């Protein structure tokens, strides 16, 4: 098989959470360009519809599924509607995330649960539900969006709960990979550095010294720069990879 054909995703169906904007939208578009049918899952119906429209206009196939994956009902809706509309569930990209910038002494219990609920609990139970479907189908692929915040302590802003949640995502990636390898389900993660999104205001001068100047490449990335790696992880090109955390940070974490 020609090497580039190994990266095609024709006939595959993928859920991408939080794909209404930012990184999630870029990953959904990249997977669609590689041939996958996309289920854009999230609570913001208008944003999801915008992503779907862009994919369809470019010749791809996509559907929007409105669901709150922080609930059992939302998880069931996300998985069942994806399978119903697209015919299968082969790829899950757990991209939805939430961050609160607060010093540890000021974090409330509600703050803690808000961050962990999206970044860990929703990811856990959606992965569980997806894995049940994938196992019955004969296999599948889960890609978690972690962060270099699992490896470093970000500055100048403090975000201890977010950092802990992403460290948990990376360890959970390895745990799922170990348990589900016999089911032919691969589980990997990427750990992005500073990417220009609504969550990361990389253009603000107060962040430049710590976020940009401290990195080896001395720049931030755009969301679509993550797309090629996610396509690789979703494809047969990475078929001997599971339990891996791929750092994509312009060299930030090497110092």
Question: Which residues form the catalytic set?
Answer: 162
CB 144 within 8 A of CB 189: yes
Distance (Å, rounded) from C-alpha 156 to C-alpha 252?
15
Cis (ω within 30 of 0) for the bond into 156? yes
User: Which residues in 122-252 belong to E strands, given as ranges?
Assistant: 140-145, 185-192, 245-248
Question: 247 near 151, Cβ under 8 Å?
Answer: yes
Helix (H, G, I), strand (E, B) or coil at 215: coil
Other Cβ atoms closer than 10 A to 102: 18
Query: What whole-number distance in Å separates Cα of residue 97 and Cα of residue 132?
Result: 23
Q: Are strands 140-145 and 185-192 parallel, antiparallel or unpaired?
A: parallel
Tokens of 224: 């679509």
Q: Whole-angstrom Cα distance, residue 113 to residue 134?
A: 29
Closest CA to 93 of 193, 223, 194: 223
Q: And the tokens for 243? A: 């339990």
DSSP state of 223: G
Neighbours of 38 (CB within 10 A): 31
């Amino acid at each position: 098989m020609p090497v580039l054909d190994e990266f095609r995703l024709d006939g595959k169906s993928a859920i991408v959470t939080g794909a209404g904007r930012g990184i999630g939208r870029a990953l959904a578009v990249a997977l669609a360009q590689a041939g996958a049918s996309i289920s854009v899952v999230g609570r913001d119906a208008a944003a999801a519809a915008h992503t779907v429209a862009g994919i369809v206009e470019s010749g791809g196939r996509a559907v929007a599924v409105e669901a709150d994956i922080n609930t059992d009902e939302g998880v069931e809706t996300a998985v069942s509607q994806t399978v119903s509309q697209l015919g299968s569930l082969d790829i899950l990209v757990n991209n939805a995330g939430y961050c609160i910038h607060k010093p540890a002494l000021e974090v409330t219990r509600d703050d803690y649960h808000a961050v962990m609920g999206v970044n860990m609990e929703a990811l856990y139970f959606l992965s569980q539900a997806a894995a049940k479907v994938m196992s019955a189908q004969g296999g599948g692929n889960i890609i978690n969006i972690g962060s270099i915040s699992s490896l470093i302590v970000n500055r100048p802003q403090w975000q201890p709960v977010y950092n802990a949640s992403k460290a948990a995502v990376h360890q959970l990636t390895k745990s799922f990979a170990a348990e589900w390898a016999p089911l032919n389900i691969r589980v990997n993660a990427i750990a992005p550095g500073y990417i220009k999104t609504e969550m990361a205001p990389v253009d603000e001068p107060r962040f430049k010294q710590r976020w940009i100047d401290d990195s080896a490449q001395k720049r931030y990335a755009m969301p679509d720069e993550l797309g090629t790696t996610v396509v690789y992880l979703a494809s047969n090109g990475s078929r001997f990879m599971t339990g891996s955390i791929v750092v994509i940070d312009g060299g930030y974490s090497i110092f």
